[in-house]
Amino acid sequence: MIRFEDVTITYSGASRPALSNVNLRLDEGELVLVVGRTGSGKTTLLRAMNGLVPHFTGGSLSGRILVGGRDTATHPPRELADLVGVVPQDPSSGFVTDTVEEELAYGMECLGLAPDVMRRRVEETLDLLGLNDLRNRPLLSLSAGQQQRVSIGAVLTSHPKVLVLDEPTSALDPGAAEEVLAALQRLVHDLGVTVVLAEHRLERVVQFADRVIVVPGDAQPLVIGTPAEVMRLAPIAPPVVELGRLAGWSPLPLTVRDARRAAGPLRDLLVGHTPPLRAIDGGLGSESLVETTDLTVRYGQRPALRSVSLTIRGGEVVALMGRNGAGKSTLLHAIVGLRASAGGSVLTGGKDPRNLRGADLVHAVGLVPQEPGDLLEATTVTDECRAADRDAGADHGTTRALLALLAPDVIDTTHPRDLSEGQRLLLALAVILAARPPLLLLDEPTRGLDYPTKARLVEVLRDLAKAGHGIMLATHDVELAAEVATRVVVLAEGEIVADGSTADVVVSSPMFAPQVAKVLAPEPWLTVSDVLAAIGPLLLRSHAPTSGDAVG
């Protein structure tokens, strides 16, 4: 279905190719997972499959790419639209209509399908992706996760032979992600669609893949194999694989089910050990950084938040979780003064955030939104960092030093729009952190981040909490919450339905429990590092070869 023959892609002004000497064949009815570091070239590989590279992005392409027998060099994207459907990282960037139902039908209108066929496919897609209740909603009123599902649905209605998705579950809650992945599985197995998806959250998708493609970056050769082959050697892996490596399991598990079956001896070793507490270092005796009292926010007649009362103090890292559309982003926007309340109150640093302006606002609270590009205005990374230093009243070089810590591979002369999704997010975070606000709000902060970059972000957040900053993360990344959160607040239909320590809330939740907690339940172990800290020496001794093994 897709063939790459000695393909090298180089962007204008780049010192090295984005992809070099790629030879690849993808067959009909395969689900292929593409992984790699942030900025390694995954998006370039995906965009080349429908001709966006080089017809839209520019640059040069040598070699040949065939999709369904058509050469992408001579067939621009419009001539491949009946074969290849593409879902971008930013779903809203591809919307052309006003409502959900219209967006689902638009692609079929362009292909000239009959009205009765269009109607049937729209209904099928609404059911397939759980969008029926949203069919008449304006696209701009949807949460990011809801927009993601609509974007996928708009492509599916055209029945493409190849479906290419860039971070398709990054903005979805765990339940919605499972629904989307189940739908993709049906397309692969029942309809023979070839699905190619790039994902950083391997814990969600690796068990569904037929093959995994690792894009190392720096024009290095691709690594291609089955999930078991790649995970055995890959430097990045989901928590169940890392736990299997730590415990010495063979074969390595790819699913929670497989890990639970192998975990009996590990559970025995953990008896008598206590998981570490996620301590609050900033001190609860300090004045609250934000306090909401019976906060109610409406969009028209629809309530987005209902009587939410919440306090965050210095040193806390609060993970705000819940389904797409539960009100998480709305709460963050209300705290920073971007949403007016219909009832109740918000005090940020003891003041109504709507009355804070300029320097007073940036030094009181910082928000990194779901679309980090909204914060970026300059034409180069260097200019963006200089402007952030100026606006924050910070020493020259402050923002650039923060960016170097978060994303050391970002080049100063790059235009922010040319950065990967994850790199843009880290640049926006550095811009906000330059002002050192006591309260930091992050909306889906790991969207587009690879594992090593996420680990660096976790360390930065821990250091900020130790320094007394309060942090609230609106996130669907249960592994991030397990690593860094001292507290979890769960929203549903705009109301708080759970509020407590991370272990108390997530271990008992089938939806929001991290993989390690699912494997080792009912004991409240959350991460591989927790297990390693507790019994690492015991595991090393149990893996050591016996004298008989050495002789043999």
pLDDT (tens digit, 0 to 9) for every residue of the chain, 552 residues total? 899 999 999 988 788 899 999 999 999 999 999 998 877 888 899 999 999 998 988 889 999 999 999 999 999 888 898 899 998 877 777 899 999 999 999 999 988 999 999 999 999 999 888 899 999 999 988 876 788 889 989 998 988 999 999 888 887 888 888 888 888 888 899 889 999 999 888 999 999 999 999 998 887 899 999 999 999 888 888 999 999 999 999 999 999 999 999 999 999 999 999 888 776 654 444 678 999 999 999 988 889 999 999 999 999 999 999 988 899 999 999 999 999 899 999 999 889 998 888 888 889 999 999 888 889 999 999 999 999 999 999 999 999 999 998 888 899 999 998 887 778 888 999 999 999 999 999 999 988 788 888 888 899 899 999 989 999 999 999 999 999 999 999 999 999 999 999 999 999 888 899 999 999 988 899 999 999 999 887 776 665 544 444 333
Domain with CATH 3.40.50.300 in the chain: 2-236, 288-364+437-524
Instruction: Collect contacts of 187-192 with beta carbons under 8 A, ≥24 apart.
Output: 187/156, 187/163, 188/29, 188/30, 188/31, 189/29, 191/159, 192/28, 192/29
pLDDT at 241: 94
**Is the CB of residue 472 less than 8 Å from the CB of residue 464?**
no
The DSSP call for residue 99 is: B
What is the residue whose two structure tokens read 């971070």? 167
Torsion of CA 32, 35, 40, 46, to 10 degrees: 20
Residues in Cβ contact with 422 at an 8 Å cutoff, skipping those fewer than 6 apart = 38, 39, 200, 407, 447, 448, 449, 450, 453
* β-bridge mates for residue 547, sequence order: none
pLDDT of residue 370: 84
283 with 468: CB under 8 angstroms?
Answer: yes
Q: What is residue 475's three-state secondary structure?
A: coil
515, 203 contact by CB (below 8 A): yes
Which of the following CATH numbers is that of domain 2-236: 3.40.50.1220, 3.30.420.40, 1.10.10.60, 3.40.50.300? Answer: 3.40.50.300
Q: Are 344 and 293 in contact (CB under 8 A)?
A: yes
Strands (E), 398-551: 439-443, 470-474, 487-492, 495-501
344 contact partners, CB below 8 Å, separation of at least 6 = 292, 293, 294, 295, 296, 307, 308, 309
SS3 361: helix
pLDDT of residue 547: 42
Q: For residue 402, what are the CA distances in angstroms to 231, 345, 432, 454?
A: 32, 34, 10, 15
Cβ contacts of 300 within 8 Å, gap of 6 or more = none
pLDDT at 543: 59
Three-state SS at 36: strand
**Cβ(8)–Cβ(63) under 8 Å?**
yes
Spatial separation of the C-alpha atoms in residues 516 and 523, rounded to whole Å: 10
Q: What is the residue type of 109?
A: E
CA angle 34, 39, 40 (to 5 degrees): 55
Name 338's bridge partners. none
Distance CA 353, CA 423 (A): 29
Query: What single-letter amino acid sits at 420?
Result: S
What pLDDT sits at residue 548? 42
Cα–Cα dist 335/340, whole Å? 10
Report the alpha-carbon distance of residue 89 to residue 371 in Å, rounded. Answer: 11
pTM of the model: 0.85
Of 179, 167, 508, the closest CA to residue 323 belongs to: 179
Q: Which of 190, 220, 206 is nearest to 40 (CA)?
A: 220
Instruction: Give the right CATH number for 288-364+437-524 from 3.40.50.300, 3.20.20.70, 3.90.650.10, 3.40.50.2300.
Output: 3.40.50.300
DSSP string, 312-344: EETT-EEEEEESTTSSHHHHHHHHTTSS--SEE
Structure tokens at 437: 């606000």
Q: Sort strands 365-368 and 302-313 into parallel, antiparallel or unpaired.
A: unpaired
